[in-house]
């Protein structure tokens, strides 16, 4: 695209501009290269304007920004825009030629369940013979099924990556794409310019208040997805849905809790390794089986089914798709031990990403129903500014719903780990509980909790899921919760054999 054409697409005057070729657009000075337009964003920590010389040296051709600081001149042509993040998204969509218009795009938002629902939806769309890509917390996937990662770890990356990935999807012949839309993404315009066919709403509970300030603001950001889509899939079990009804031109509802809805689940049965239920839906009534643990996954599956049905999936395709679903890494992931003793009886160990009080509550409640023995949970809480108000509630929920809880580290960053752990203990004690042990080192805590459990027991390792680093005060260490847990499980089985 030529620079003048880009300016015109952004409704900017282009008279004084050179008309060079634009290769791409970026907000990150480290990523700028020859032919790029750099968008200078005034963020919470940096002012992108201070990197103008750096991007010029890297070969950038122009800068977009909300206005140069008084004491600064720009060494590159500077285009003033009213909103830099909006301009970043609009430029990215224009440069990539609006790829979402060539795809059926399903967006998924909500506090919990986005990743699981997104993966389920993409699996169901594939079962309906749609070549489907995925953009989610655990990476992005072209229709070929190989998982890839962005350089920075985001649920929804910045607009240039979103638009480039959508273009890549179109280029390899994708029909549809499922995209997780976080509240940060909606607030910071990362998905502006995406043409949404379907918006899926999981549910809303308190989270990210450090960023949004109030639950009302948080809701307002997430609501944008429903407002922008042509079809909404709404959760009749979530009280916030009352305020979403009628925002999209067309909508459907789902319920896994017996509320009136278009898609409902009844006769739900939870087994140690899977779920089954009957579905009543606009496609008729039929039975469904899903090899996943966790009653809430019935709701996620209904949401995915309703979205896939809107894009043409039949009841038979939905049923076959659910039955062949392999799960999502780190979401209710059931571990098997490895090594020579792996076939011996052992406690059931599950790695799960639950890191909010409501999701921890749901995870423990659902695991209790399929645990004949004792239920154990290991949980920490992140440091830094990220919602410190949830530490005590996490401690309370863990001690109330498990037979024994272990409090441990989880990305404490610049907050003293002791402060976080004391807060979690305080929550447990305030709920009248003392059935907890605090072990700061996470690997040691995992070894301890698995070592204590018996066959028939369930051990839930919550909070980290598939994350590949553990952020401590002065270091970030590589982390693989599944590998650490498998090692502890193997040790347990070896010890049992002796
Ligand atoms: C709270 C939040 O989302 N902040 C995002 C915001 O940061 P910011 O406003 O502080 O920006 P900044 O760091 O001051 O930088 C300003 C500008 O200077 C640029 N810069 C800065 C430094 C430098 O060396 N070079 C450079 O070019 C930056 O790229 C940016 O354009 O804009 C930055 C770039 O545009 C993002 O990287 C940053 O994400 C931070 C790292 C982050 O952790 N975000 C998380 C919370 C997030 O987005 N999470 C959600 C999911 C949450 C969930 O549901 O669990 C997600 O979608 O991943
Ligand atoms: N529908 C749901 N309702 C409540 N809790 C859920 C639901 N689905 C999943 N969970 C719980 O929340 C955890 C996170 O699930 P998932 O990763 O699917 O959500 P998410 O919204 O993508 O979260 P994140 O963006 O932080 O990854 C799961 O491990 C599970 O414990």
Has 369 been labeled as part of a binding site?
no
Task: Tell me the torsion sign for CA atoms 295, 457, 450, 324.
Answer: negative
| Model confidence pLDDT, tens digit, residues 171-218 | 999 999 999 999 999 999 999 999 999 999 999 987 677 777 888 999
Closest-CA residue, ligand 1 atom 46, reads 184
Closest CA to 103 of 158, 166, 160, 168: 166
Range of the domain at 245: 99-323
Has 26 been labeled as part of a binding site?
no
Q: Are residues 121 and 210 in the same domain?
A: yes
| pLDDT (mean) for 143-153 | 78
We report the CATH number of the domain holding residue 253 as: 3.40.1190.10
Ligand 2 lined by 353 (C-beta under 6 Å): yes
The 10 Å Cβ neighbour count of residue 240 is 18
Q: Are residues 302 and 339 in the same domain?
A: no
Q: Are residues 298 and 410 in the same domain?
A: no
pLDDT over 80 (residue 17): no
Ligand 2 atom at minimal distance to the Cα of residue 155? 25
- Whether 49 is covered by a domain: the verdict is yes
pLDDT over 90 (residue 342): no
- Whether 484 is covered by a domain: the verdict is yes
What's the DSSP call for residue 173? T
Has 183 been labeled as part of a binding site?
no
Could you tell me the two tokens for 410?
Answer: 């989880």
Q: Are residues 191 and 296 in the same domain?
A: yes
Query: What are φ and ψ of residue 16, in 5° steps?
Result: -90, 10
Ligand 1 lined by 48 (C-beta under 6 Å): yes
- Whether 200 is covered by a domain: the verdict is yes
Ligand 1 lined by 27 (C-beta under 6 Å): yes
What's the DSSP call for residue 22? P
Ligand 1 lined by 386 (C-beta under 6 Å): no
Contact 303, 202 (CB under 8 A): yes
| Domain-terminating residue out of 272, 295, 323 | 323
- Ligand 2 center to 102 CA (angstroms): 29
Ligand 2 lined by 398 (C-beta under 6 Å): no
Three-state DSSP class for 188? coil
β-pair partners for 21: 2
Closest CA to 447 of 411, 408, 421, 473: 408
Q: What is the per-residue pLDDT for 283?
A: 98
Q: Are residues 243 and 105 in the same domain?
A: yes
Ligand 2 lined by 359 (C-beta under 6 Å): yes
Least confident stretch, 145-159, 393-407, 410-424 = 145-159
Considering all CA atoms of the chain, what is the largest pairwise distance in Å, rounded to the nearest integer?
Answer: 82
| pLDDT (mean) for 314-336 | 93
Contact 406, 376 (CB under 8 A): yes
ipTM: 0.93
Indicate the angle between helix axes 442-452 and 481-497, nearest 10 degrees.
40
Ligand 1 lined by 384 (C-beta under 6 Å): no
Indicate which ligand has the atom closest to the C-alpha of 29: 1
Three-state DSSP class for 495? helix
Has 110 been labeled as part of a binding site?
yes
Indicate which ligand has the atom closest to the C-alpha of 332: 2
| Domain-terminating residue out of 323, 356, 377 | 323
Closest CA to 90 of 184, 5, 21: 5
Indicate which ligand has the atom closest to the C-alpha of 160: 1
Q: Are residues 362 and 492 in the same domain?
A: yes
Q: Are residues 164 and 233 in the same domain?
A: yes
Measure the CA–CA gap between 181 and 165, rounded to whole angstroms.
14
Indicate the pLDDT class of residue 155, thresholds 50, 70 and 90.
Answer: confident
Measure the CA–CA gap between 233 and 238, rounded to whole angstroms.
12
- In sequence order, what DSSP letters do the residues of 415-459 get, joined into one string? S-HHHHHHHHHHHHHHTT---EEE-SSHHHHHHHHHHH--TT-EE
We report the CATH number of the domain holding residue 32 as: 3.40.1390.10
Q: Are residues 71 and 144 in the same domain?
A: no
- Ligand 1 center to 27 CA (angstroms): 10
Ligand 1 lined by 51 (C-beta under 6 Å): yes
- In sequence order, what DSSP letters do the residues of 108-161 get, joined into one string? EESSSSHHHHHHHHHHHHHHTT--EEEEETTEEE-TT--EE--SS--SS--HHH
- Whether 328 is covered by a domain: the verdict is no
Could you tell me the two tokens for 388?
Answer: 């410190």
- Ligand 2 center to 32 CA (angstroms): 35
We report the CATH number of the domain holding residue 400 as: 3.90.190.20
Ligand 2 lined by 493 (C-beta under 6 Å): no
Q: What is the per-residue pLDDT for 153?
A: 67
- Ligand 1 center to 68 CA (angstroms): 21
Q: Are residues 316 and 416 in the same domain?
A: no
Residue for token pair 């839930």: 460
| Domain-terminating residue out of 277, 295, 323 | 323
Q: Is 187 left (phi over 0), alpha (psi -120 to 50) or beta?
A: alpha
**Could you tell me how far CA 9 lies from the centroid of its own chain?**
32
| pLDDT (mean) for 277-281 | 98
| pLDDT (mean) for 15-36 | 90
Looking at the 3D structure of the chain, how many domains does it have? 3
Measure the CA–CA gap between 78 and 210, rounded to whole angstroms.
33
- Whether 413 is covered by a domain: the verdict is yes
- Ligand 2 center to 203 CA (angstroms): 10
- Ligand 1 center to 183 CA (angstroms): 13
pLDDT over 90 (residue 229): yes
Q: What is the per-residue pLDDT for 244?
A: 97
Contact 353, 155 (CB under 8 A): no
Indicate which ligand has the atom closest to the C-alpha of 296: 2
Rounded to a whole number, what is the distance in angstroms from the first to the last CA of the chain? 69
| Run of H or E including 375 | strand 375-379
Q: Are residues 107 and 168 in the same domain?
A: yes
Pairing state between β 348-352 and 333-335: antiparallel
Ligand 1 atom at minimal distance to the Cα of residue 44? 10
pTM: 0.87
- Ligand 2 center to 83 CA (angstroms): 32
Three-state DSSP class for 391? helix
pLDDT above 70 as % of the chain: 98
Q: Are residues 389 and 257 in the same domain?
A: no
Which of 353, 410, 467, 468 best tests ligand 2's pocket when mutated (most atoms within 8 Å of CB)?
Answer: 353
- Ligand 2 center to 183 CA (angstroms): 14
Ligand 2 lined by 136 (C-beta under 6 Å): no
β-pair partners for 458: 348, 375
Q: Are residues 450 and 426 in the same domain?
A: yes
């Amino acid at each position: 695209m030529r620079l003048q054409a880009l300016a015109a697409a952004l409704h900017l005057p282009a008279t004084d501009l050179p008309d060079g070729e634009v290769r791409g657009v970026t907000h990150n000075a480290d990523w700028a290269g020859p032919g790029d337009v750099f968008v200078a964003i005034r963020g919470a920590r940096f002012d992108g304007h201070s990197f103008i010389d750096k991007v010029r040296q890297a070969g950038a051709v122009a800068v977009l920004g909300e206005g140069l600081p008084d004491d600064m001149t720009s060494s590159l042509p500077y285009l003033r825009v009213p909103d830099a993040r909006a301009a970043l998204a609009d430029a990215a969509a224009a440069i990539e030629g609006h790829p979402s218009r060539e795809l059926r795009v399903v967006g998924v938002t909500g506090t919990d369940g986005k990743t699981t629902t997104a993966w389920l939806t993409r699996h169901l769309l594939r079962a309906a013979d749609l070549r489907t890509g995925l953009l989610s917390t655990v990476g992005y996937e072209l229709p070929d099924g190989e998982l890839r990662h962005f350089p920075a770890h985001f649920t929804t990356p910045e607009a240039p990556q979103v638009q480039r990935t959508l273009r890549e999807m179109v280029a390899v012949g994708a029909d549809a794409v499922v995209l997780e839309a976080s509240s940060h993404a909606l607030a910071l315009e990362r998905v502006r310019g995406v043409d949404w066919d379907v918006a899926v709403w999981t549910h809303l509970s308190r989270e990210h208040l450090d960023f949004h300030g109030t639950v009302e603001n948080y809701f307002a950001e997430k609501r944008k997805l429903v407002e922008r889509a042509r079809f909404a899939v709404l959760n009749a079990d979530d009280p916030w849905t009352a305020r979403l009804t009628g925002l999209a031109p067309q909508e459907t509802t789902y319920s896994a809790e017996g509320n009136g809805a278009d898609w409902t689940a009844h006769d739900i049965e939870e087994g140690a390794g899977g779920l089954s239920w009957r579905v009543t839906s606009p496609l008729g009534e039929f039975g469904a089986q899903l090899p996943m643990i966790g009653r809430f996954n019935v709701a996620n599956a209904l949401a995915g089914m309703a979205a896939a049905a809107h894009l043409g999936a039949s009841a038979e395709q939905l049923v076959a798709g659910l039955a062949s679903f392999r799960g999502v890494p780190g979401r209710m992931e059931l571990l098997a031990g490895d090594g020579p003793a792996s076939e011996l009886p052992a406690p059931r160990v599950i790695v799960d990403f639950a890191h909010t009080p409501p999701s921890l509550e749901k995870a423990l409640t659902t695991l209790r129903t399929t645990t004949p023995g004792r239920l154990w949970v290991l949980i920490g809480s992140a440091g830094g500014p990220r919602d410190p108000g949830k530490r005590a509630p996490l401690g309370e929920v863990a001690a109330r719903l498990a037979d024994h809880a272990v409090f441990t580290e989880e990305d404490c960053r610049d907050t003293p780990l002791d402060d976080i752990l004391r807060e979690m203990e305080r929550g447990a004690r305030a709920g009248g509980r003392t059935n907890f042990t605090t072990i700061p080192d996470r690997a040691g805590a995992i070894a301890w909790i698995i070592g204590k459990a018996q066959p028939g027991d369930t051990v839930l390792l919550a909070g980290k899921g598939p994350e590949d680093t553990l952020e401590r005060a002065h270091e970030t260490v590589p982390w693989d919760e599944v590998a650490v847990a498998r090692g502890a499980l193997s040790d347990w089985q070896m010890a049992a054999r002796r």
